[in-house]
Chains A and B, each alone.
Chain A
């Protein structure tokens, strides 16, 4: 069974601060996705990373896939209250199954 550990589990910061969320595993993933989920809604895809060492930027969000494809990070610059939500990483297994294993999530609160 592949496990994904996310840290921190909870994060409360002031508007304008920077933050990084980590997603770690001992398993290798063929790809990794980051989702953001608001209360009472389904997760919404932010990004998919596929290549080891890959860095993707989405406005103030920067995503990195580790060289060995076992870990990933999400960095938010100058956080805003609209960034508040549950951030989930999910890794796709290798082989034909390719199901997603979800991390435990990071609940981010950005205070105005």
Chain B
């Protein structure tokens, strides 16, 4: 079983607030990812990282930013949340030499 954690699990905030979604993994994986998913729909890649100090934007344009200062930690930040940011955010990680990704439980974000 994968050891990847996300906090908070649920977050309801008002428009304009700054938020940070946390993601940590204890597997030593070099690759980490953030996806956005609407209920019952496909996953869209918004950010990824192949190692410390390496971050790239994914296929889906997002106003969020990420950082990778430590291997195990890959937080996502929204400077000013809007209702259009309401969604589920999933973090995943993958080890060297494998395509398989292991997912955290997700953060369900609602912006009022």
Q: Which of the residues B91, B99, B106, B108 comes within 8 Å of A98, measured between beta carbons? A: B99
Could you list which residues of chain A lie within 8 angstroms of chain B, going by C-beta atoms? 1, 30-31, 33, 35, 39-45, 48, 86, 88, 90, 92, 98-100, 102-105, 107
A102 to B92, CA, bound (A): 13
Q: A99-B45, A104-B41 are in contact. Are A33 and B99 (CB under 8 A)?
A: yes
| B90 on the A face (CB < 8 A) | yes
- Among residues of A, the one whose C-beta sits closest to the C-beta of B101 is A100
- Among residues of A, the one whose C-beta sits closest to the C-beta of B107 is A42
**B33: A residues at CB distance < 8 A:** 99
> Given A42-B103, A44-B103, 8 other A-B contacts at CB below 8 A?
A30-B99, A31-B99, A31-B100, A39-B39, A40-B105, A88-B42, A90-B43, A100-B99
**B102: A residues at CB distance < 8 A:** 45
Could you list which residues of chain B lie within 8 angstroms of chain A, going by C-beta atoms? 6, 33, 39-45, 48, 58-59, 90-92, 99-106, 108
B100–A1 CB distance below 8 A: no
A48–B106 CB distance below 8 A: no
A8 to B102, CA, bound (A): 25
A102–B43 CB distance below 8 A: yes
B48–A42 CB distance below 8 A: no
**A105: B residues at CB distance < 8 A:** 40-42
B53 CB to closest chain A CB, in angstroms? 18
A80 CB to closest chain B CB, in angstroms? 21
Q: Which of the residues A35, A48, A104, A107 comes within 8 Å of B99, measured between beta carbons? A: A48
What are 12 of the A-B contact pairs (CB < 8 Å)? A1-B59, A31-B100, A33-B99, A33-B101, A40-B108, A41-B106, A44-B103, A45-B102, A48-B100, A92-B99, A99-B45, A99-B58
B49 CB to closest chain A CB, in angstroms? 12
A41 to B106, CA, bound (A): 6
**A41: B residues at CB distance < 8 A:** 105-106
**B44: A residues at CB distance < 8 A:** 102
